[in-house]
Amino acid sequence: MIRFFTPVLILQLFCLYHAYKNRKDYFWYLLILMLPLVGAIIYLITQVFNKADIEKVTDEIATAIIPSKKVKDAEKRLAFADTFQNRVALADAHFENGNFEEASTHYSAVLKGNFQNDFYVISQLISSNYYLEQYEEVIQLAAKVKNKQEFKNSKAQYVYGLALDAVGRTEEAEENLKTIDQRYSNYAERLVLAKFYERNGKSAAAIEILDEIIAESEHMSNHNKRMYRPVVQEVKKFRAELQ
């Protein structure tokens, strides 16, 4: 009996994880849970398209269980071939795990030669240094790319604004932070912007952003409502404090 149910449970978990990652309808969760074996088989046949997809999800599950797996895999690829792509992949793996010092080291290592002005790497390095509270480094890095078209309205520009705020350059910070205020997106960042406005005596601007987010939340899909519920709740709480 144990030998039968253990594989079924593993299959269930695989299917539930795949359904979650691919934003499947609630129906599939009920089917997999209520008919463990049959439901999982039906889900695999109809929703998991090919072997490559199964291997990808299996790898994602392993990475979720063992966060260091992605780093170790990237280290192996870098040891085999020290290329730009492999070193950036290792930096990204460290970044995703919150190892910002390691990420910064590897991002910095590839900023040379033909890649010394690579926008993606510099953007990631800007974020890494911000999390390390190296605000002057962030500002210096942003100076290298802030005239590029990709910088405008980007996450890098937003983080640059945060760094400017951290060192007391409030007016410049506002100019860069406010570009993140885009409808139906960037909810967490817009909440930070609202708090920035309130902190700097611009309550009306803060309230306008908060009210927009609350209004937008009423038109979210069910999936987005679940995803952004904590942010929307914090927005509503902060809005109530500004009554």
**186 pLDDT higher than 70:** yes
pLDDT above 90 covers what percent of the chain? 65
Q: What is the pLDDT of residue 27?
A: 83
Q: What is the mean pLDDT of the chain?
A: 89
Let me know whether 59 and 78 are in one domain.
Answer: no
Q: How far apart are CA 80 and CA 127, in angstroms?
A: 28
Let me know whether 89 and 127 are in one domain.
Answer: no
As a whole number, mean pLDDT of residues 19-33 equals 85
In degrees, rounded to 5, the angle at the alpha carbon of residue 129 between the alpha carbons of residues 127 and 130 is 65
Let me know whether 127 and 78 are in one domain.
Answer: no
**232 pLDDT higher than 60:** yes
As a whole number, mean pLDDT of residues 149-178 equals 97
Tens of pLDDT along 97-145?
Answer: 999 999 999 999 999 999 999 999 999 999 999 999 999 999 999 999 9
Tens of pLDDT along 56-80?
Answer: 655 655 555 556 788 999 999 999 9
Residue 205 domain flag: yes
Residue 138 domain flag: yes
Are residues 127 and 155 in contact, defined by beta-carbon separation less than 8 angstroms? yes
As a whole number, mean pLDDT of residues 137-165 equals 96
Let me know whether 90 and 128 are in one domain.
Answer: no
- For residue 116, give both structure tokens: 């010394």
Residue 97 domain flag: yes
Residue 132 domain flag: yes
Number of compact structural domains in the chain: 4
Residue 230 domain flag: yes
Q: How far apart are CA 126 and CA 149, in angstroms?
A: 17
Boundaries of domain holding 198:
183-243
As a whole number, mean pLDDT of residues 175-202 equals 96
Are residues 173 and 165 in contact, defined by beta-carbon separation less than 8 angstroms? yes
Q: What is the pLDDT of residue 1?
A: 38
Residue 2 domain flag: no
Q: What is the pLDDT of residue 42?
A: 83
Let me know whether 79 and 104 are in one domain.
Answer: yes
Q: What is the pLDDT of residue 3?
A: 44
**55 pLDDT higher than 60:** no
Q: How far apart are CA 242 and CA 206, in angstroms?
A: 9
Q: What is the pLDDT of residue 70?
A: 86
The more confidently predicted of residues 45 and 6 is 45
End-to-end CA separation in angstroms for the chain: 61
Let me know whether 204 and 236 are in one domain.
Answer: yes
Q: What is the pLDDT of residue 2?
A: 40
pLDDT above 70 covers what percent of the chain? 90
pLDDT band at residue 168, thresholds of 50, 70 and 90? very high
Compute CA distances 223 → 21, 61, 103, 183, 193, whole Å. 11, 21, 31, 18, 25
Residues 6+ away with beta carbon under 8 Å from 8: 36, 37, 40
**4 pLDDT higher than 60:** no
Tell me the DSSP string of 89-151: HHHHHHHHTT-HHHHHHHHHHH-SGGGTT-HHHHHHHHHHHHHTT-HHHHHHHHHHHTTSGGG
The more confidently predicted of residues 10 and 7 is 10
